[in-house]
């Protein structure tokens, strides 16, 4: 009954009804919502599970700085003590960074359990989208989205990010999907569920560490204003779901496709040998890739996130 009542509310009503019980906005975020300033949602899994300490904290703070420098306000999202937090302070970011993988990695399925039991949780793309939508934030910047894993025809291992993109009205600025995935099937899944994949100044779907995948996007957009108008039109038409805005990694930090493919194959072989499955796969592979590239993949990861934060802030301003 409570859920039905909440679902019938508008965003301001929803926030008011949930504020004390479930969701907690920082003062800066609450003021920005009230005065309609441009906001960018940022995830917290990249802090706790995506990079080692202290690079994770340094990167998170640098991403927030980049958002501000480009005219928007960063809203880093996490679950702390069972509260859905929108807008973290530096101490909270440092706390998540130090705890690392001891923090629960929270997707849609995990949210009620984390909240009910007062847990700390780092939000994935899917859960960040959910909480951002609750707060009325339409633009989200991340590194790369999840997707269909290799061998999914047997394992059915498909990231919840893709289903969230089909149902939640948040645009995700990313460097495509991580090339540890089956990118062709990932794009097929998004097409089936009506999620547009837009290439930012590119015709080709980027593959996280590299600008090249050999796969085409649905549409290419070269202007922030055109992109903002398209998003607005989509949602005004009542077409539910998000949009993937695929923003290639800057050329100077991009790996040659052949080299990164070879490294990923080596990392995947080791993961299979060690029988690493489910949500443990991605953190293992990222760490292994960093090792095999002597740390240069981590620098590429940082640069592509900053590049996405910049574009997301410009888009939020345009909207």
pLDDT, block means (10 residues), the chain with 319 residues: 44 54 95 96 94 93 98 98 98 97 95 97 98 96 93 84 98 93 96 98 97 96 98 97 98 94 91 82 83 91 97 97
16 is catalytic: no
CB atoms under 10 Å from CB of 42, counted, come to: 29
Domain residue limits at 7 = 2-318
The reported pLDDT for the residue numbered 282 is: 75
Confidence (pTM): 0.91
Annotation marks residue 43 as catalytic: yes
Taking every pair of C-alpha atoms in the chain, what is the biggest distance, in angstroms?
A: 54
Q: Closest by alpha carbon to 227, among 250, 271, 197?
A: 197
Q: Note the helical H segments in the chain.
A: 2-7, 11-18, 27-34, 45-48, 55-69, 90-99, 111-116, 125-135, 152-155, 160-167, 183-192, 224-236, 257-273, 281-292, 296-318
For residue 187, the tally of other CB atoms under 10 A from its CB is: 23
The one catalytic residue among 24, 43, 64, 164: 43
- For the chain, the domain total comes to 1
Of the residues 178, 288, 290, 310, which is catalytic? 178
Q: Quick one: pLDDT at residue 5?
A: 44
What pLDDT shows up at residue 50?
Answer: 83
Predicted local confidence at residue 6, as pLDDT: 42
Contact yes or no for 303/55 (Cβ under 8 A): no
pLDDT at 35: 95
Residue 1: per-residue pLDDT? 42
What is the CATH classification number for the domain harbouring 99?
A: 3.40.1790.10
pLDDT score at 155: 77
Give pLDDT, residue 218.
Answer: 98
């Amino acid at each position: 009954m409570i859920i039905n009542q909440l679902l019938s509310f508008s965003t301001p009503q929803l926030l008011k009804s949930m504020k004390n019980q479930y969701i907690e906005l920082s003062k800066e975020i609450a003021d920005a919502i009230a005065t309609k300033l441009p906001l960018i949602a940022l995830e917290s899994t990249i802090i706790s599970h995506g990079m080692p300490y202290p690079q994770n904290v340094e990167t998170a703070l640098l991403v927030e700085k980049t958002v501000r420098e480009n005219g928007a306000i960063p809203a880093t999202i996490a679950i702390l003590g069972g509260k859905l937090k929108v807008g973290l302070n530096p101490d909270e970011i440092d706390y998540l960074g130090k705890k690392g993988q001891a923090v629960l990695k929270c997707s849609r399925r995990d949210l009620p359990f984390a909240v009910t039991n007062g847990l700390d949780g780092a939000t994935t793309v899917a859960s960040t989208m959910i909480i951002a939508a609750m707060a009325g934030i339409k633009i989200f910047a991340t590194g790369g989205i999840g997707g269909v894993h290799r061998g999914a025809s047997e394992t059915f291992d498909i990231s919840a990010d893709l289903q969230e993109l089909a149902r939640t009205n948040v645009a995700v600025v990313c460097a495509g999907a991580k090339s540890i995935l089956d990118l062709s099937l990932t794009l097929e899944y998004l097409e089936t569920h009506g999620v547009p994949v837009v290439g930012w100044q590119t015709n080709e779907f980027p593959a996280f560490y590299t600008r090249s995948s050999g796969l085409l996007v649905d549409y290419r957009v070269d202007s922030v204003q055109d992109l903002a108008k398209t998003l607005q039109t989509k949602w005004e038409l009542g077409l539910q779901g998000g949009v993937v805005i695929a923003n290639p990694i800057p050329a100077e930090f991009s790996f040659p496709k052949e080299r990164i493919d070879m490294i990923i194959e080596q990392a995947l072989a080791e993961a299979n040998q060690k029988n690493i499955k489910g949500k443990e796969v991605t953190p293992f592979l990222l760490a292994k890739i960093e090792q095999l590239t002597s740390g240069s993949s981590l620098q590429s990861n940082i640069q592509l996130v900053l590049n996405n934060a910049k574009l997301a802030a410009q888009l939020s301003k345009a909207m």
